[in-house]
Amino acid sequence: MESEDLNGGSEQPPSRGVPNHLVDHNEITPANTPCLVLPVTEAMETSPEDAIYTHQTEPFLPAHVVKILELVEIGKDVTDAQCQEVKCLIAEYADCFALSLSEVNLVPGTVHKLDIPESATFHMKIPQRSFNPDERTFMAVKVQEMLKGGIIRPMHPGEVHCVAPSVLAQKVHENTGLSLDELKHKVNDECINYGLPAVFDLPPCPPPSNDYSAPIPPKKWHLCQDFSEINKVTTIALVPQGDIHAKQLRLSGHRYLHVFNFAAGFYGVAIHPDLQPYITFYVEGLGYFAYE
């Protein structure tokens, strides 16, 4: 597909392929597997492996691509050839992934600003719901991560014009629900109960495990702020996302659907300085913060 330039001619868009001297797709194997922000652990962020954070300078650096492929989860119900094809595709578009919030680029020339009436008044003290110890620990780590990435900045109480309560939403796919295989067995059991053939070809369901010694993974949440007060006095900008219903219909009838968790997908948009005092939140023991 060609694009027209300003002079009426045409030029081929630059290739998004990975240069051969950087990544050899034939060498990407399950044992050597290398803007969505991938869940890098705190230990990785503080380790000497800072050389992998090259999204802004060298996104196709082999170590950077290898780490991306390590963090992307690929379903087990695909063949080896399909898995290899997915890995090659991810490596080809490695510049779409970031390993930390600080690697998310700002959209050039874009500043977010809301028309808040000068006469509008807002609550300055929001009764914040108390967090349990795990939630407080998560909030402290998340605040430091956003400060490091330049997403928020400390705000003096005298500058604050509106405070939004913070809400921690449990990540659905990381709760203690049934695994995919357990859900498939449940579906088969219901089919058999109603005299229907099993949908999934699975081995017999293993007996429930009574081993309670396995370590419980740390809980994770989405950090959200309730800006409903701001929404009541301003006009929300429309998002040019198109007809969602029509897009859903176009997805029907396919064998595979790729699902992206857009809670980890970001457009980096700067906040106008005049707006920052209105989009603040408070963290107990840490103070006020504003998005920038």
Q: pLDDT per residue over 71-126, tens digit each?
A: 888 888 788 999 999 999 999 999 888 888 778 878 888 888 888 888 888 877 77
Pick from 287, 39, 4: nearest CA to 155: 287
The tens digit of pLDDT for each residue in 13-47 reads 444 433 333 344 444 333 333 366 666 544 344 44
Enter the CATH code of domain 107-171+220-292.
Answer: 3.10.10.10
Tens digit of each residue's pLDDT (9 = 90 or more) over 224-259: 888 888 888 887 666 666 777 788 788 788 777 666
From the CB of residue 93, how many other CB atoms can be counted at a distance below 10 Å?
Answer: 15
Over residues 184-213, the pLDDT tens digits come to 888 999 999 999 998 888 888 777 666 666
Tokens of 63: 């170590």
CB 61 within 8 A of CB 22: yes
Query: Which carries the bigger pLDDT value, residue 55 or residue 214?
Result: 55
Specify the pLDDT at position 211: 60
Q: What is the pTM of this model?
A: 0.60
Q: Which helix (H) or strand (E) holds 224?
A: strand 221-225
Residue 139: count other Cβ atoms within 10 Å of its Cβ.
20
Residue intervals in the chain for CATH 3.10.10.10:
107-171+220-292
